[in-house]
Chain A
Amino acid sequence: MQEICFTGDEAGFRDLRQRVRRWLDALGCNSSETAEIVLAVQEAAANVVRHAYGGDLSGRLVLRIRREGDRLLFRLADYAPEADGRPWPCLPPGEGRCGGWGVYLMRRIMDRVECGTPVAGEGNVLEMSKRVDGLVMRVQHESG
């Protein structure tokens, strides 16, 4: 399991991407899988800063990633006030639009994206999961 605590500022996000990349590389994900997952995590965390923290870059976030066989499970928690339950906008891509791709990308990359249950002190939780081809060989090796 990997746990990454970070804040919404530029350095916090740079560190987040670097640590997620390193962890995925060490697990055996290929570069394409790693790039996609880092992007989905980035978009999820950016939405927390924008929507849950209202743009406050000092807000704390905690990402936990664990492997379960050939799947990766992500849990992103914040300490902002509980959200109003309205779903984040998920717009299809289009040349005429200058934004709104974040949730689209998360759903395109991950197999599952949904709200989780906050525990003590947490404000909001987002859970995502993805089956990763690069981990299949590892699972076969472990079970063989």
Chain B
Amino acid sequence: MEFEIRNEGDYTVIAPRGEIDFHSSPRLRRQILDVLGRGRDLLIDMAAVSFVDSSAIASLVEGLQQAKEKGRRFGLAGLQEAPRQVLHLTRLDTVFPIRARIDDWLEA
């Protein structure tokens, strides 16, 4: 997994690419917590992520919790079928704020 990080207004956008499993999810987790630690609102652009396992989901949940605690916004966008299925199976699809595209967040 690789990722790009960019600032878009009040948001920082983390855009991982590829598959995220227990080998790579600690890197994503560190980036998420780093951005939130700097007091930024955070979006995760999942458009280029084809697979996530439960450890990746755990990193996202921790990010959501941290964002809530810090009063920051946290959202997901661009979920492909497989990651969307994992969120559905874990019943987290109703917990995460999710929009179809990153632009849907930025234009809101």
The reply to whether B24 and A10 form a contact with Cβ atoms under 8 Å apart is: yes
Residues of chain A within 8 A of B86, CB atoms compared: 39, 105
Q: In B64-101, which residues have CB < 8 Å from any A CB?
A: 64-65, 81-82, 85-86, 89-92, 95
State the total of A-B contacts with C-beta under 8 angstroms.
71
- B contact patch SS: helix
Q: Shortest Cβ distance from B76 into chain A, in angstroms?
A: 14
| Majority secondary structure of chain A interface residues (helix, strand, loop or mixed) | helix
Report whether A9 and B53 are in contact in the complex, using a CB–CB cutoff of 8 Å: no
Question: Which chain A residues border B57 with CB–CB below 8 Å?
Answer: 101
B contact residues, total (Cβ < 8 Å): 25
Look across to chain B and name the residue whose beta carbon is closest to the beta carbon of A97. Answer: B61
Listed in ascending order, the chain A residues whose CB lies under 8 Å from chain B are 9-10, 13-14, 17, 31-32, 35-36, 38-39, 42-43, 46, 49-50, 57, 93, 95-99, 101-102, 104-105, 108-109
